[in-house]
Amino acid sequence: MKKTVRRIAATAVASGIVAAGAVGLAGAASASTVSASQAASYRIETLDNQHDVTFNQLLGINDRGLIAGYFGSGAAGHPNKGYLLQAPYGQGNYTNENFPGSVQTQVTGLNNRGVTVGFWSNTNMGVGMDANFGWVNVNGHFRQADFPTGDSASPVTDQLLGVNDNDIAVGFWVDGQGNNHGYEYNINTGRFSSVVDPQNQGASLQATAINDRGDIAGNIGSDGFLLRHGHLTELAVPGASATMALGVNNFEEVVGTYMVGSGSSAQMHGFTWQPGRGFSSIDDPHGIGTTTINGVNDFGQLVGFYVDAAGNTDGFLATPQR
């Protein structure tokens, strides 16, 4: 579940206006579920850290516009390096953020209180070959945070992916049989708790994001979900071979990516979803068919990444235009 970020020259390497098109729509939403990005067009900017113009992923954005991400593909000799990017989005506003002593770090989520989360590795042998360990950073104080278990995969896989303003983080770990297990981590108390499908508590599950209400987005099998008050809503884009939910805001707007086709003909498209509104499909204009949306804030701003015509992975910011 890796994410990528790339450097921006001046203010934007590329930008454009893209309208969100309906993938599948339900009935009308109530006023309490309408966010800034509903029925919006977006101004899209490519944002890449010049330390590695070939691979950037933007993974989270808070309500102040602070963006979390990383550069480096994770291939051997090409380690992930985490960063934060604050507005105005020029090269001078990138700040390195890496777990102390790590070989690789991804910054995957952040809240409005300045808390960041992610995962780190102690090696750089290649994608899928390195152990992952969860971490949190509170006011510059890093700590490792791994779900306590005696049945870890080898190499260890434990990733924290999101955090809300109540300092509750979510992520997942992988057991020795290759099954995913979602969990919550209370940063203030240090307590862990499992996140499960209420109807199938043994299901292999990833928890990827959490909002201030405690609603959790994530994935089970080839479908995404939103877990609210013990009720799980399955998210599957009509006609897609797979749907992944990767972010959620306080308006219950879920973002992610879906796949159509398979093999060499497979395409990835970003999406947003809300109760009563259904899905809208969004592609970066420079990465149609290669777009992932990974984070959303309460103003409806989206961050993610795409693959460009040169084969580079680029980060992008999409801002709703009213």
Q: Starting from the edge strand earliest in sequence, which strands make up the sheet with 133-138, in order?
A: 104-110, 116-121, 133-138, 141-144
> How far is it, in rounded angstroms, from Cα 190 to Cα 105?
21
Phi first, then psi: give them for residue 222, nearest 5 degrees. Answer: -100, 10
Q: How many helices (H) and strands (E) does the chain have?
A: 0, 26
CB neighbours of residue 32 within 10 Å: 8
Tell me whether residue 178 is exposed, middle or buried, using C-beta atoms within 10 angstroms of its C-beta: 0 to 12, 13 to 18, 19 or more.
exposed
286 contacts 46 by C-beta, under 8 angstroms: yes
DSSP-assigned states of every residue in 111-153: -TTS-EEEEEES--S-TTTS-BEEEEEETTEEEE-----S-B-
pLDDT per position as a tens digit, 242-299: 999 999 999 999 999 999 998 989 999 999 999 999 999 999 999 999 999 999 999 9
> How far is it, in rounded angstroms, from Cα 289 to Cα 312?
14
CB neighbours of residue 259 within 10 Å: 17
Identify the helix (H) or strand (E) that includes residue 258. Answer: strand 254-260
pLDDT at 2: 44
In this prediction, residues 59-64 reach a mean pLDDT of 98
With a cut of 80, say whether residue 105 has pLDDT above it.
yes
With a cut of 90, say whether residue 7 has pLDDT above it.
no
Please name which of 95, 237, 212 lies closest in space to residue 162, comparing C-alpha atoms.
Answer: 212
Query: In angstroms, how far is CA 69 from the centroid of its own chain?
Result: 9
Residue in the block written with tokens 């593909």: 73
> How far is it, in rounded angstroms, from Cα 117 to Cα 84?
11
Confidence of residue 39 (pLDDT cuts 50, 70, 90): low
Confidence of residue 3 (pLDDT cuts 50, 70, 90): very low
Fold of 15-321: Neuraminidase (2.120.10)
Phi first, then psi: give them for residue 157, nearest 5 degrees. Answer: -130, 110
The pair of three-digit structure tokens given for residue 161, joined into one six-digit string: 């992916």
pLDDT per position as a tens digit, 193-207: 999 999 999 999 999
With a cut of 80, say whether residue 17 has pLDDT above it.
no
| Mean pLDDT over each residue of the chain, to the nearest integer | 90
Identify the helix (H) or strand (E) that includes residue 209. Answer: strand 205-210
Pairing relationship of beta strands 81-85 and 94-96 according to DSSP bridges: antiparallel
In this prediction, residues 35-39 reach a mean pLDDT of 46
pLDDT at 22: 42
